[in-house]
Structure 1
């Protein structure tokens, strides 16, 4: 009996600690003005993507979005510029097994409630500066979603594999409300109770240059 009680206490402690965990929201700042770089379109689009995860009470969904005409310029082993153009019409869901319900979710994410893909077919991340901190890169760039552009800094690494440069960000959290994505957001609506969708959205980039 004593062992059972100890196990229950241990499980309860884990559950309480998990509930207490909070995602860290990236700080957003005003857009950094930069000269328009010459697009090199040197990214391997078949091997590059943006991953995402959204959560709500009692559930979560995750997926990917493809890139289009993007560039990552590396000089002397360091990133000098980059622009990742995100094709919002390519949103995919990866966790729903039913093709029908998966398609419904993608349609909902694409409509005016969320990302309004017809009006805003692309999002983008434009690198404005890169610093090395504790063996990793702090990559600052202008993130544009819908009609809003904000400067954010994301942790990332840059490596080289057989002549291909590989940019990988760690998972970072943006507040969709900062980018005018309002559907069931507590920032815009009251009395949602448990019908809200979390404002924080997890994202990560993996970008590979062409061989």
Structure 2
């Protein structure tokens, strides 16, 4: 009986040590920044989108998981000024042709696997959900003391965003919008 008690105590100590080394670091949404670039045949547009919330999980100082939720209604255009088409483009990006933010107010990325690549750099495979569609994405994430950064390319057509895509509309000509857009992500925690 005494051996069973000793084993149980050792197990509790081992589990509490494992639990103690796992740490969730909440993302500071107000200090984090996501910028986007969407390109078309005749140029490009860029802007920002806000982080709603999220967490990065560490174990023994190494990244092991995480998730980030983005506020799709916050999408804004930074390369145009008010009265120069800024409001029109922002409205179109929020419309059903693009992100349908009235129906889908958030997008989310959930880490599925994290592998150390080099000091402070991890290769992350995650599920990205935009609108009603979830697809896997892989990217490198650089983690500092209180930040994590990445540049991620997303093929919008995989998420049923086909407006202006030459992949779907052959005769669109110079009005074509490229399928991939770029996200530059700077998460602060």
Structure 2 length as normaliser, TM-score?
A: 0.82
Correspondence 1:1-211 to 2 at 5 A? 42-99=26-83, 101-135=85-119, 136-160=121-145, 165-169=146-150, 171-209=151-189
Unaligned runs of 5+ in 1: 1-39
- For 2:183, what is the secondary structure of its paired residue? strand
Instruction: Report the structure, 1 or 2, having the larger strand content.
Output: 2
d(CA) in 2 for partners of 1:137 and 1:79? 8
Report the CA distance between 1:100 and its aligned residue: 5.0
Deviation at 1:99, TM superposition (A): 4.8
What's the CA shift for 1:151? 1.0
Give the conservation status (yes or no) of the 8 Å contact 2:42–2:175. Answer: no
**CA distance in 2 between partners of 1:48 and 1:107 (Å):** 23
Cα distance, 1:156 vs. partner? 1.5
CA distance in 1, matches of 2:130, 2:66: 17
The ranges of structure 1 where at least 4 consecutive aligned residues each deviate by more than 3 angstroms after the TM superposition are none
Find the residue that maps to 2:101 and give its secondary structure. coil
How much has 1:41 moved relative to structure 2?
Answer: 8.0
Q: 1:41 to 1:69 in 2, by over 3 A?
A: farther
**Unmatched tracts of structure 2, length 5 or more:** 1-23
CA RMSD, 1 decimal: 1.6
Give the Å deviation of 1:50: 2.0
Count of equivalent residues: 165
For 1:76 and 1:121, how far apart are their aligned partners in 2? 35
Structure having the higher Rg: 2
